[in-house]
Amino acid sequence: MEIFIDLEDPNPLFAQLIQQIKDAILKGDLEPGAPLPSIRQLANELELNAKTVAKAYQLLERDSVIQTRGYRGTFVHPDAIANCGQDIAQLVLDKIGEAIETCREAGATDSEIRIAFSHAMNRTSRRN
């Protein structure tokens, strides 16, 4: 797997890394179960800060594209191909859109929906 980071690209470095790993999986260059370089190793190879690589790995792991097996290393998740197609931001947007439509159908105004959404966000425990 070859990764090229473009410093002129307007996308953040971690996002470029995420996209290239997903592309490698979808093209078959990285197969489920394949090992990935350690955070430190990849950071050194790409001349990036280790925190940048760690952020990319954290987001890929959250989306079940990769998995970390303790001291054994980081590997491509068994369901990575299916999970590469999922875009968590789009999923959230779709779910919120559905909820808004349901509220509007029930007669709620946009102002009431915003207030309710704000209350719901404050009530739920924060996950990041």
Query: 3-state class of 128 per DSSP?
Result: coil
**Among the listed residues 27, 15, 37, 38, the one whose alpha carbon sits nearest the alpha carbon of residue 5:** 15
- Per-residue model confidence (pLDDT) at position 46: 96
DSSP character at residue 67 = E
Give me the numbers of helices (H) and strands (E) for the chain, helices first please.
Answer: 6, 3
The fold of the 13-84 domain, in CATH, is: Arc Repressor Mutant, subunit A (1.10.10)
* The predicted structure's pLDDT at residue 90: 66
Kindly state the average pLDDT of the residues 12-18: 94
The pTM for the full model equals 0.67
- pLDDT number for residue 123: 86
pLDDT in tens, 24-72: 998 889 999 999 999 999 999 999 999 999 999 999 999 999 999 988 9
* CB distance 30 to 24 below 8 Å: yes
Work out the end-to-end distance of the chain between its first and last CA atoms, rounded to an integer number of angstroms: 30
Would you list the domain boundaries of the chain? 13-84, 88-123
Q: What is the 8-class DSSP label of residue 68?
A: E
By C-alpha distance, which of 28, 26, 60, 64 is closest to 42?
60
Distance from C-alpha of 104 to C-alpha of 113, rounded to nearest angstrom: 8
Identify the top-confidence range among 3-12, 33-42, 76-85: 33-42
